[in-house]
Structure 1
Amino acid sequence: MCPVVSPYLQNTLRLLDNNVDSLVDEEILMNNDIQAGGVWEPSDCNSRYHVALIIPYRNRSQHLQQFLTYMHPFLVRQQLKYRIVVVEQAEGVAFNRAKLFNIGFVETLKLSKADCFIFHDVDLLPQNDYNIYACTHHPRHMYSAVDTLRYHLPYRRLFGGAVAMQQVHFKKVNGFSNKFYGWGAEDDDMYNRIEQVGLSVIRFDPRVASYVMLSHSSVWRTEGRLEKLQDNKDDSEDGLSSLSYHVLDKKERSLYTWFLVSC
């Protein structure tokens, strides 16, 4: 087995701002033997963790490139067995981040085993190698501090941006809601689901769980999101059990597994 703490971790804040390009080393990236589909595992030991990173996506090509070139070496240093999955939503309807997470979960399990799922926005990057991308005994909100919020947690029930959940826990809460088209409140709904099944949310120390957010234009929150959040509290059937979508295309690209879906 690989050691609990990888010997390759660098105890520094590697990323001090959102200038990712200054840290990207293409030679290191390509010499890590990353397999088609964005799959990697250590060759000198058996990883303790089998992780799938699920990325919801639409029209963020620069962020995606920055994310991939930064995150692959980051995950390799942690000696994880992992796959990066990008779920792109076709044009025509408002973006549904939570539903794309559900789709990524279902489609990933058709490809390979994964006991830990990390649901991750494409514009967030961890600063500290010791922020291990693995699941804990309870769902984990991955970031306790982010630069755009002056490294303060805006409210205790926040469960957005990047979260880690065991496969069994994600099934127990019936996944994310499928109802939140547009931006906002789907992460708060997930926090409610976690509480309703008797689980709790944990966070690591902010000195470890710190992130930078890549620059992007502001997105307005969808009107009526809070009313929908309240109405959804008692809808136990909304989620994985009611998921409906079509896979329009899929490919194992050099640094990630890609799905194009309509939902």
Structure 2
Amino acid sequence: MTDDKHRQEGFNWLIKFYEKMMPEVEICIGEGRCKSDLFSKAKAINHAAKQATRNIYVIADSDIFYDPNLITEAIDLLKEHPWVIPYHRIHYLSKNSTKKLVETDPAWPISINVDAHTPNKKKKGGINIVTRTCFETINGFDERFCGWGGEDEAFVHAMNAVFGKYVRLDKDIYHLWHSRGKSASGNPYYQDNKLLHARYRSARKSKEATMKLVNEQNRL
């Protein structure tokens, strides 16, 4: 749960979207806090993973939605690839489009024309699809990341180093508008996160060095 009205409205709509468009999926919602009671994305994802009973994880942010068929295509790719980033473009909906959308019944294709900004940048977070075995081998997301910043990139480096590079689908996903809140650079632990991310980046070409890094968490 969140105190942000816009985030909560978007999240409520997304849960209905999953329940209606993908009734076969197991929805696991994670929560997590770290130092100074900041939100911890890493802890939230790991908390959700502990609830899961199946062998394929769709790790999706709480403000992202997409064509349900995207999941089927991505899961098929797991037969030959270690993990999947199932999109190429993120369309960031405007505030007005998001407001209109969350007032509609969830459907695909979406029932309104939306105004969206689409940066020409291949991001790696938002939604990742991995097997339970791969996720557990690298201890999931590193919970030493506190607040926003660095956790997604570290996960990418760890997965690539240990299992091989992801494959990417040429698909679109959509991001609901919400107020920005505190940015990563406004996080009091931002520098700590940067240093930890730099360690993952330095280790990214070595499976042994990466596994040593992820296993440090077990000794904390």
Which band: TM-score by shorter chain?
Answer: 0.5 to 0.7
Counterparts of 1:75 and 1:170 in 2: how far apart (Å)? Answer: 24
Query: Which residue, out of 75, 86, 91, partners 2:30?
Result: 86
Residues 10 and 176, structure 2, Cα contact 8 Å, conserved in 1: no
- Indicate the residue corresponding to 2:198 in structure 1: 230
Q: Which runs of 4+ in 1 moved over 6 A?
A: none
Q: CA deviation at 1:230?
A: 1.5
- Indicate the residue corresponding to 1:129 in structure 2: 68
Q: CA deviation at 1:89?
A: 3.2
CA RMSD for the aligned pairs?
3.2
Query: Cα deviation per residue 1:173-200 (whole Å; 9 max; x = unaligned)?
Result: 2211111112111111111101111322
Q: How many residues align?
A: 180
Alignment identity in percent? 15
Query: Which residue, out of 92, 104, 121, partners 1:154?
Result: 121
1:178 to 1:235, Cα distance in 2 relative to 1, 3 A:
farther
Q: Secondary structure at the match of 2:155?
A: helix
* AA at the equivalent of 2:83: P
* AA at the equivalent of 1:211: Y
| TM-score relative to the length of structure 1 | 0.56
Query: Normalized per residue, which structure has more strand?
Result: 1
Counterparts of 2:70 and 2:20 in 1: how far apart (Å)? Answer: 13
Query: Which residue, out of 57, 78, 83, partners 1:117?
Result: 57
Q: Unaligned stretches of 5+ in structure 2?
A: 93-115, 204-208
Q: CA deviation at 1:105?
A: 1.3
1:70 to 1:96, Cα distance in 2 relative to 1, 3 A:
closer
Counterparts of 1:219 and 1:201 in 2: how far apart (Å)? Answer: 30
Counterparts of 1:219 and 1:75 in 2: how far apart (Å)? Answer: 30
Matched, 1:199 2:156: no
Counterparts of 1:241 and 1:68 in 2: how far apart (Å)? Answer: 36
- Indicate the residue corresponding to 2:98 in structure 1: none
Q: CA deviation at 1:97?
A: 0.8
1:169 to 1:61, Cα distance in 2 relative to 1, 3 A:
farther
Q: Unaligned stretches of 5+ in structure 1?
A: 1-56, 245-263
Counterparts of 1:227 and 1:242 in 2: how far apart (Å)? Answer: 15
Query: Which residue, out of 40, 52, 58, partners 1:96?
Result: 40
Q: Secondary structure at the match of 1:125?
A: strand
Query: Which residue, out of 166, 175, 178, partners 1:212?
Result: 175
Query: Cα deviation per residue 1:93-123 (whole Å; 9 max; x = unaligned)?
Result: 32221122122212x14xxx21121222222
Q: CA deviation at 1:60?
A: 4.1
